[in-house]
Amino acid sequence: MSCLEHVNPRVRGIGVPPLAHLQRLAVHITQEINLGVKKPFKEVIDVSSGDPHKSGMKPISFVRQVLAGCIYPQLLKGNHLPPDASMRAQKLLEVCDGNSVGSYTASSGLLHVKQSIAEFIERRDGISAHTSDIFISAGSQRALMVVVKLLASGEGETPTGVLTPIPCPHTLPMLLDEEGVMLVPYQLIEDQGWAIDLEELNFALKTPRGGYQPRAIYISNPGNPTGNVQDRKSIEEVIGFAARQKLLLLVDEVYQDSVHEKGRQFISYKKVLFEMGKEYSEMVELISFNSLSTACMGECGLRAGYMEAVNIDPQIMQVFDTMLCTDISTPVTGQLALDLMVNPPKPMDASFDVYAKEMFYSWSTLSQNAQRAHEYLNNLPGITCQPAMGGMYIFPRLQLPSQLVHQAKMLEVDGDVIYCQRLLQEEGVFVGPGGLNMRNNADCYIRVCILVPPDTLTDVLARLSSFHRRHWANTSSHPCQNRT
């Protein structure tokens, strides 16, 4: 008998998500190339998810220098590191038990790092922040999972519903499903740059989808994968809606450093909430998330993020801490990198010039790539694409060539999955399925990470164009086939 014979039936019923299937295919194709199998391309380019370093973007030198000194303190004895990096490493080691990154920390994170995060939030918003409201976790996804677990209803109770944007981060639906929480979709408005619309929020609550109790609304700002950046009026409308409906605000602000549309700027939900007056600032419950996976830092693999809880019951705050204990503690190197993210070198520091140059390069690359990809994709037949204001993705709509629509029907899969699979097999470009099309519908979406080196984006767009035009040329029934 298998050791997993009695696995939870909910887990047993989970199928292979489309992205996981495509990831396995990408690995298989790469293995074939390494074994000498002839392909029309030399390598697979993965732009399916926001992993800048995997795509070839370079890490920020100051972060790696400080972490190197923390991991191998012997580097601090000579002139191996810039003086401010060496001093910073020494200071961070002093707040670790045993002066070692190999020690555990408190379940909610190192107090020193939480204090740095609080000071960062205060500088950003002009509003006080407190370490007792901040919880460090192994990535923002882990923090969100803890909150969703608490939102989930008990057995026999009315299921909890979370209002969720469509489109949304590709990992969110499965996270909600795993915890038995119902995804209540609200549609973002595509022709308004994927904006949040108050009428759609109200419509989502009124549309019958089985019995559920709405308890929270999830927001991604800047949008993942849409690239929308909310202005103050939009944020005020959402806060007002949450107040009227007594909903907890769950706000993913991970890409707050990546706004690149001229005239736009990131405004945090907390800042707007506190500027709306005590009627809101003392009543609306808000949990915001940030992490090392931010665009310019891009340290996804160090697995560290944080959440700030506002107006949450003190007993619930204690439960947050208890549930985070199940992780023992967030990786210490990740926590220290968080400290560097929120408290970077200052203008008079030895590392400042290099740090500022590298951060600007990441941001400017993202900005220029967003413009290039938007213009290029909109010039392909059967593709329309909204401009990205921020974030790391561009999210085009595709009219599928008829043969791919037919293949999707035959295999009973979504058209975006077929498109991504064939693009990967024929051109070696791995993009993410958008997950928005109804099965066998000719319209679908793909998700493309644009925080990649410029030459890589050039290659991605050329291969995608070759694939798309080749299949489009074989289509005789599309109304858009004459577009150039």
- What's 374's domain CATH number? 3.90.1150.10
* Position 251 in a domain: yes
Domain contains 481: no
pLDDT tens digit string along 28-50? 999 999 999 999 999 999 999 88
Q: Does residue 276 share a domain with residue 179?
A: yes
129 lies in the same domain as 256: yes
Q: Are residues 201 and 322 in the same domain?
A: yes
In a shared domain, residues 321 and 397? no
Domain boundary among 320, 342, 364: 342
Q: How confident is the model at residue 295 (pLDDT cuts 50, 70, 90)?
A: confident
Spatial contact of 129 and 122, defined as CB atoms under 8 Å apart: yes
Judgement on whether residues 182 and 108 belong to the same structural domain of the protein: yes
Is the confidence at residue 336, as pLDDT, over 80?
Answer: yes
Q: Are residues 154 and 17 in the same domain?
A: no
| Least confident span in 15-19, 263-267, 368-372 | 15-19
**In 339-387, which ranges are E strands?**
383-384
Is residue 34 situated within a structural domain?
Answer: yes
Per the CB < 8 A criterion, the answer to whether 216 and 249 are in contact is yes
Contacts of 471 (CB under 8 A, 6+ apart): 401, 403, 404, 422
Same domain, 311 and 171: yes
CATH number at residue 109: 3.40.640.10
Boundary (domain end) residue, out of 342, 376, 401: 342
Minimum mean pLDDT range among 156-160, 258-262, 298-302, 430-434: 156-160
CB < 8 Å & 24+ apart, contacts of 378-381: 379/484, 380/465, 380/468, 380/469, 381/468, 381/469, 381/472, 381/478, 381/480, 381/481, 381/482, 381/483, 381/484
Residue at which a domain ends, from 342, 367, 389 = 342
202 in a structural domain: yes
Is residue 277 located within the same domain as residue 386? no
The answer to whether residue 304 scores a pLDDT higher than 90 is yes
Domain assignment present for 79: no
Q: What is the pLDDT of residues 405-436, one digit of tens each?
A: 888 888 888 889 999 999 999 999 999 999 87
User: What was the pLDDT predicted at 475?
Assistant: 63
**Average pLDDT value over all residues in the chain:** 90
Residues 153 and 244 in one domain: yes
Specify whether 295 is located in the same domain as 374: no
The answer to which of 103-107, 245-249, 287-291 has the lowest mean pLDDT is 103-107
Region of 156 on the Ramachandran plot (φ > 0 left; ψ -120 to 50 alpha; else beta): left
Domain assignment present for 197: yes
| Alpha carbons 197 and 241: distance in angstroms, whole number | 11
Q: Specify the number of domains making up the chain.
A: 2
Q: Mean per-residue pLDDT for 295-300? A: 86
**Does the residue 150 lie in any domain?**
yes
Q: Looking at the structure, do residues 122 and 253 belong to the same domain, yes or no? A: yes
In a domain, 484, yes or no: no
> Which residues on neighbouring strands pair with residue 184, listed in sequence order?
163
Whether 335 and 370 share a structural domain = no
What residues make up the domain containing 437? 9-56+356-473
